[in-house]
Amino acid sequence: MTKQEKGVVIEDLTKQLAESSIIYLADISGLDAQTTSDLRRACYKSNIQLAVVKNTLLAKAMEAADKEFGELPEVLKGNTSLMFSEVGNGPAKVIKSFRKKSDKPLLKGAFIEEAIYVGDDKLDALVSIKSKEEMIGEIIGLLQSPAKNVISGLKSGGGKLAGILKTLSER
């Protein structure tokens, strides 16, 4: 790869890193062609972009990006695959489900909405992260719950009260 080609790759990576708020770094080394193809297919179905990159080029792109990646450049050893997603726990779910069949891919680290996770032991925590839409739905449900209880209480209480008054008047 020429210096000019490397510059173009770094520029493209920097642009992708700047535009993405959810970035996972994984190690997929040791997977055969069929398994890698299956992983790519699973990523595609989950709307996750998977790319294998050179560590030095990714490190330079991280330096050039406007974001603070913390300890992530330190995990750039061995083979590294980038996973870009719109959903915070999407790549973690794909990795977790894929690991039921094999011991790879390994999670090296993740950058999610400015939070940094380093190490494969963080996979379970990342799977349980709720997406923005799930959180909004949960908050709306919590806000609606007291109002629904009050309305249903008034409706049922009014019926009971009217029934009690009618029974008392008949006696």
Read off the pLDDT of each residue in 53-73 and give the average, rounded to a whole number.
Answer: 84
- Residue 30 contacts residue 104 (beta carbons within 8 Å): yes
Say yes or no to pLDDT of 18 above 60. Answer: yes
pLDDT: which is higher, 157 or 60: 60
Q: In sequence order, what are the residues at sequence separation of 6 or more whose Cβ sits closer than 8 angstroms to the Cβ of residue 171?
A: none
pLDDT at 159 (0 to 100): 61
Ranges of each domain in the chain? 3-129, 130-171
pLDDT at 118 (0 to 100): 85
- Domain 3-129, second-level architecture: 2-Layer Sandwich (3.30)
Say yes or no to pLDDT of 15 above 80. Answer: yes
pTM: 0.73
pLDDT at 127 (0 to 100): 82
